[in-house]
Amino acid sequence: HSRWARDSRVRWAFEEVGQPYDVRLVSFAAMKQPAHLALNPFGQIPTYEEGGLALFETGSILLHIAEHHAGLLPKDAGGRARAITWMFAAVSTVEPPIIELQNAKLLEGDKPWTKERMPGVQDRIRVRLGQLSAHLGEADWLDGAFSVGDLMMVHVLQRLKPSGLLNEYPSLVAYVARAEARPAFQRAFAAQLAVFNGQKPGG
């Protein structure tokens, strides 16, 4: 269970909109059982249940939360559309090469081709970070006020911390730090850390 696991995106979103939530932890074995596959056919986490509604994929869950509670989407239609676009950009454009890097290190670290592949993977990440940094410029957030687009993007960038690549882009380091200073993030991180350390949330 990673400290930057995708379920922490959902915790953070709930904290931003000030909504209580219940967490049910699922073991790796249970994730592959029929009961969980009925909620998420790919046998992954997190899943989200609300009444008779069951959702999977963090982007979908975050969008549902943002659309039903104030605080994560702008009120104007254009701003909402741009915030949603940044959510897609985070998971479709920025995150894939980051996941490729993590897989190369964690899953394929002992393979003969990994060392040769690594510079190329890192350069693909640098291209995206450079483009993102250029867009952000001196702004605090991607498009006006903090939104669900920033939440998703920051969470993706956090995955880069162990690699040190993020440190090459001071504006992005500052961007992530601004988000991590938000009280909602602090609350979500504390709850996630409690799970990571084997404690009950709030314990």
Contacts of 41-48 with CB under 8 Å at 24 or more apart are 45/5, 45/6, 45/7, 46/6, 46/7, 46/10, 48/10
Residue with tokens 């988000």: 179
Mean pLDDT of all residues in the chain? Answer: 90
13, pLDDT greater than 90: yes
Per-residue tokens: 122: 């890192």
User: Mean pLDDT across the stretch 153-167?
Assistant: 94
Q: Percentage of residues in the chain with pLDDT exceeding 70?
A: 90
Nearest to 20 by CA among 73, 84, 65: 65
Q: How confident is the model over 79-114, as pLDDT tens digits?
A: 999 999 999 999 999 999 999 888 877 666 566 666
Termini Cα distance of the chain: 18
Query: Measured between alpha carbons, how far is 124 from 140 in angstroms, rounded to an integer?
Result: 25
User: Mean pLDDT across the stretch 48-71?
Assistant: 95
The C-alpha R_g of the chain, in whole angstroms, comes to 17
Q: Are 159 and 91 in contact (CB under 8 A)?
A: no
Q: Percentage of residues in the chain with pLDDT exceeding 90?
A: 72
Residue with tokens 């998420």: 40
56, pLDDT greater than 50: yes
CA count, 13 A, side-chain hemisphere, 172: 25
Q: Is the pTM of this model over 0.95?
A: no
192, pLDDT greater than 90: no
In this predicted structure, what is the pLDDT of residue 203?
A: 38
In this predicted structure, what is the pLDDT of residue 109?
A: 59
In this predicted structure, what is the pLDDT of residue 195?
A: 79
pLDDT band at 129 (very low <50, low <70, confident <90, very high): very high
Query: Measured between alpha carbons, how far is 137 from 131 in angstroms, rounded to an integer?
Result: 10
46, pLDDT greater than 50: yes
Q: Are 182 and 146 in contact (CB under 8 A)?
A: yes
Residue with tokens 């290190």: 105
